[in-house]
């Protein structure tokens, strides 16, 4: 499916929970993907860590390829890596549909965002909690998605940092056509605020994979997010 079609589908179905596989049981990866599919997930969020930009390692290109072979769902690939321009083509070839790079790794984000689009993927930019949202001013026209971090990237299961909500509100006004995603500490307690502030995609790792019933969790999260969004509108 083309990037523009995927973006259109996500936009019309928003708010949506994007399961972050970082917290799944990797010994049962294919089965975990089946479970989130059956639970109603509409995309998968994949966290790539290099032990350099973030103080942790996760998985890389062969695992993204394996996930691609296991599902038709769009793959939302979050590159927490230094020098992302060196790798975007290979992640695209591995099956990424949305590719997000970090502004902190890029003196000039425009060339890599252009490259991601030219590869036929949707282009995303992410920013850490301490990074001012104004850092994105010069590149929002090249972004299909902004991934606002509500924790310092590197680990699942951290506490939500509310500074992310101000950034969502700012971006909702400054870039109304851009899909807004929030990542880190998203759970039943924090989801309402995220949706009310304008988040379209709610990345959830530990809060989801610690549940017995993924379907129930996704329904509860989506229901709360929809209610909160209606209050805002």
Please list, residue by residue across 126-156, b when 16 or more beta carbons sit within 10 angstroms of its beta carbon and e when fewer do: bbbbebebeebeebeebbbbbbbbbbebbbb
Near ligand DX5 by CB under 6 A: residue from 82, 131, 158, 211? 158
| Site map (CB under 5 A) of Zn ion, residues 174-213, x = contact | ---------x------------------------------
Measure the CA–CA gap between 208 and 138, rounded to whole angstroms: 35
Measure the CA–CA gap between 222 and 138, rounded to whole angstroms: 32
| Site map (CB under 6 A) of ligand DX5, residues 190-229, x = contact | -------------xxxxx----------------------
Least separation in angstroms between residue 117's CB and ligand DX5 is 22
Selected range binding ligand DX5 among 91-99, 110-118, 138-146, 151-159, rule: CB under 6 A: 151-159
User: What is the number of other CB atoms lying within 10 angstroms of the CB of residue 12?
Assistant: 7
Per-residue CA distances from 216 to 15, 17, 167 (Å): 16, 12, 29
- Check if 97 is active-site: no
Is 131 one of the binding residues for ligand DX5 (CB under 6 A)?
A: no
Residues that bind Zn ion (CB under 5 A): 47, 78, 183
């Amino acid at each position: 499916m083309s990037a523009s079609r995927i973006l259109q589908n996500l936009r019309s179905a928003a708010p949506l929970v994007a399961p972050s596989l970082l917290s799944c049981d990797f010994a049962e990866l294919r089965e975990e993907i089946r479970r989130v599919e059956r639970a109603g997930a509409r995309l998968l969020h994949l966290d790539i860590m290099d032990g350099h930009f973030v103080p942790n390692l996760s998985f890389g290109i062969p695992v993204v390829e394996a996930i691609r072979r296991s599902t038709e769902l769009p793959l939302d690939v979050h590159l927490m890596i230094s020098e992302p321009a060196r790798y975007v083509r290979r992640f695209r070839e591995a099956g990424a549909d949305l590719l997000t790079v970090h502004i902190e790794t890029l003196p000039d984000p425009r060339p890599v965002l252009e490259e991601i689009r030219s590869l036929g993927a949707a282009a995303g930019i992410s920013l850490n909690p301490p990074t001012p949202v104004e850092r994105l001013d010069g590149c929002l026209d090249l972004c299909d998605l902004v991934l606002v971090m509500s924790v310092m990237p590197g680990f699942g299961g951290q506490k939500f940092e509310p500074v992310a909500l101000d950034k969502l509100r700012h971006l909702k006004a400054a870039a109304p056509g851009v899909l807004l995603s929030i990542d880190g500490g998203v759970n039943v307690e924090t989801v309402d605020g995220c949706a009310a502030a304008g988040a379209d995609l709610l990345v959830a790792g530990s809060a989801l994979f610690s549940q017995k019933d993924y379907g129930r969790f996704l329904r509860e999260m989506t229901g709360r997010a929809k209610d909160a969004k209606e209050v805002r509108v």
